[in-house]
Amino acid sequence: MNKPTAFVVGTFDTKSAELNFMVEHIAASGIDVGTIDLSTSDQSFAATIGASEIASFHPDGAAAVFTGDRGTSVAAMSKAFENWIIEHSDKVAGLLSAGGTGGTALATPAMRVLPIGVPKVMVSTVASGDVSAYVGPSDMNMMYSVTDVQGLNRISREVLGNAASSLAGMIKFKPPAMSVANELPGLGLMMFGVTTPAIQAISKNLSDTYEPYVFHATGVGGRSMEKLVDGGFLSTVVDLTTTEICDMMFGGVLAANEDRFGAIIRTKIPYVGSVGALDMVNFGAPETVPERYKDRLFYEHNPQVTLMRTTPEENKQMGKWICSRINEMHGPVRFLLPEGGVSALDTPDMPFWNPEATDALFTTIEANFKSSDNRQLIKIPHHINAPEFAADAAAQLRSIT
C-alpha cells in the first residue's frame, strides 16, 4: 500500500457477496479500494489483506485466532485487526464493514482506534438499538441494515449501496484542511447542564488564545475528550465537570471508565480540573433507579433523567480515587475546589445543598492530594458557576501555559 486506501472489511467466508457489492460501488466512484478478510474459519478467500495476515497481529499469534470456537475466535480476530489498524492507520483512507452482531464486534474496535476524521461506516443489524458499546468515543457512522446482512435483494442493495457511496463521498469530498498557521490550539472543556454558566464564561475568557472544544459529561463525552488529547487535537484541558466519576463508582448511566484522566497522565499537557457535579449520580426514569437506592434523595431533572445526591461517604470514596489519578499527572496541574458549591443544584436554596457531603469531598482531596511545584490544589471561595470562579479558572490556565 503506497497511499491511503479505502478498505471493505468483514467475514468473506459468509458475507462475500455483500462485501464485494460494496467494493464495486466504491471502485466505481474512482476511489482506490481494497479488502480485508476477518474470517475465522480455516477457509481461504481472495482479499487484499488475508485473514491469516490479520490474525498474525494477535499478541499470541494466529493460533490464538483460529481456535475452532466461534466466540474466542471472533474476540481474538477483533483484537488482531485492532492491532493491525494501529500499525497501518496511516495507510487507511476509510473503513466500511457490514454484518450482524459478530461482524459488528469484529470490525468496530479497529474503527474506534482510527483517528477522528478518517471515515468509518458500519452497516449492522444492531444499529437501530443502543450502539454506544460499538461506537464509543469515535466518529463512526452506524447504518441499520433493515434486512439481515445475508444475501443481496432489493432492500440490501439499496442499503449497502448507500453505505458504499457514503464512504466514497466522505473520502472524496473531505473538508479543506485549515492552515495550521491560522489555527488556535485546542482547549477541551467538560460541561454538564448544572455547570454550563462556568464553562460558557471560561470559553469566552480564553477564546482569544484557544479554540474551545466543549464535551458533555455523558461518560462517552469524557472518553471523547481524552481521545482527542491522546490524538494531539487538544493542547490543554479545563476538566471542570468530573461527574462521570460518580456514575462509574456508584452505578449511574453516564459513567467514565477506569482510564479517566489517563490521557492527561500520558501526555502531560497543562491541566485545570475541578469537582463539577460530583453531587449527583445519573439514572434514567425513576423506575430505573436500583432498589438499593430507594431511600435516597432524588431530583427529577426531566421524565427520563433522575439525579441522586451523593452522600458524605461516597464523596470520600470519590476524593480518594480522583487523587490517586491526579497524583500520577506530571505535567502542569491546577485542581480547584469551589467552596460555594459544585453544581447548580448545590446552593442553599436548591435540593442538593449538603455542606457535610461537600466537606467530606474537599477534606478527602486535601488529605490525599500530593502537591508539588507543578501540581497544586487551590481552594476558591465561590460557587462553581460564579463569575469569579470562572475568571480564576481561566487565570490559572493562563499561568501554566
- Considering its fold, how many domains does the chain have in total? 2
Which of 116, 148, 172 delimits the end of a domain?
A: 172
Query: Domain with 189 in it: what CATH number?
Result: 3.40.50.12030
- Of 138, 172, 206, which residue constitutes the final position of a domain? 172
Helix H, strand E, coil C: the string for 119-136 is: CEEEEECCCCCCCHHHHC
Q: Are residues 254 and 300 in the same domain?
A: yes
- DSSP string covering 240-287: ---THHHHHHHT-SS---TTTTHHHHHH---EEE--TTTTEEEESSGG
Burial 90-125 (b: 16+ CB within 10 A, else e): eebbbbbbbbbebbbbbbbbbbbebbeebbbbbbbb
| Final residue belonging to a domain, choices 142, 172, 202 | 172
Q: Are residues 120 and 198 located together in one domain of the fold?
A: no
In a shared domain, residues 90 and 204: no
Is 165 found in the same domain as 189? no
- H or E segment to which residue 390 belongs: helix 387-400
pLDDT tens series, the chain, 401 aa: 567 899 999 999 989 999 999 999 999 999 999 999 999 986 767 899 999 999 999 999 999 999 988 889 999 999 999 999 999 999 999 999 999 988 999 999 999 999 989 999 999 999 998 898 899 889 999 999 999 998 999 999 999 999 999 999 999 998 876 545 458 999 999 999 999 999 999 999 999 999 999 999 999 999 999 999 998 999 999 999 999 999 999 999 999 999 999 999 999 999 999 999 999 999 999 999 999 999 999 999 888 899 999 999 999 999 999 999 999 999 999 999 999 999 999 999 999 999 999 999 999 999 999 999 999 999 999 999 999 999 999 999 999 99
On whether both 191 and 51 belong to a single domain, the answer is no
CATH code (residue 106): 3.40.50.12020
Closest CA to 243 of 331, 361, 329, 371: 361
Instruction: Based on the fold, state whether residues 350 and 254 are members of the same structural domain.
Output: yes
Domain assignment of residue 306, given as a range? 180-400
Nearest to 94 by CA among 127, 69, 116, 126: 116
- Asked whether 212 and 189 are in contact (CB, 8 A), the reply is yes
Gap between the Cα atoms of 88 and 85, Å rounded: 5
Predicted TM-score (pTM) of this structure: 0.79
Domain check: are 18 and 167 in the same one?
yes
Q: CA separation (Å) from 267 to 14, 234, 257, 264?
A: 42, 10, 18, 5
Shared domain check, 114 and 29: yes
Among 143, 183, 178, smallest CA distance to 163 is for: 143
Whether 167 and 217 share a structural domain: no
161 and 224 in a single domain? The answer is no
Which has the closest alpha carbon to 61: 87, 83, 39?
A: 83
156 and 273 co-located in one domain: no
Q: Is there a single domain that holds both residue 164 and residue 187?
A: no
* pLDDT tens-digit series, residues 1-22: 567 899 999 999 989 999 999 9
Type of residue at 145: S
